[in-house]
Structure 1
Amino acid sequence: MSTEARGKTHIDIYDRTVREAWAQRFGVSEERLRKAVTMVGSRITSVAAYLDRPAP
């Protein structure tokens, strides 16, 4: 899978800018976002479901 396609469906938890943006979008701390990714993986829809937030 290309990096471009991955960016549209997954959160790059190792990229600080991306991590900060997703944490803000979901209204959670970066630590909570990291925990969500650890628990369910980096797919945006999975993280949104874990955090009980609507998927963008």
Structure 2
Amino acid sequence: MSTQARGKTHLDIYDRATREAWAQRFGVSEDRLRKAVTMVGSRITSVAAYLDRPAT
């Protein structure tokens, strides 16, 4: 995870590197990550809860 992503509360689903990093971190596909963002928004804690994964 880049140092830019640390301390942020939302993920940028349109940035490929960010999307790839968060998908890997959550252990899901990029498509699943996109669906999660569509369903609950881009707040990291909300996406983590939707995916039933830890946010940190």
TM-score, normalization by structure 2: 0.87
Q: For 1:17-36, what aligned pairs fall within 5 Å after superposition?
A: 17-36=17-36
Computing the radius of gyration from Cα coordinates, the structure with the larger value is 1
Question: Percent sequence identity over matched residues?
Answer: 88
Specify the code of the residue in structure 2 equivalent to 1:28. V
CA distance in 1, matches of 2:27, 2:40: 18
Write 1 or 2 for the structure with the bigger share of helix.
1
Aligned residues: 51
1:15 paired residue number: 15
Gaps of 5+ in 2: none
2:38 paired residue number: 38
Q: Aligned-pair distance for 1:55?
A: 1.1
Gaps of 5+ in 1: none
1:8 aligns to what SS in structure 2?
Answer: coil
Q: What are the superposed Cα offsets for residues 10-30 of structure 1, whole Å, 9 maximum, x if unpaired?
A: 010000000000000000000
Q: For the aligned residues, what is the CA RMSD?
A: 1.4
TM-score, normalization by structure 1: 0.87
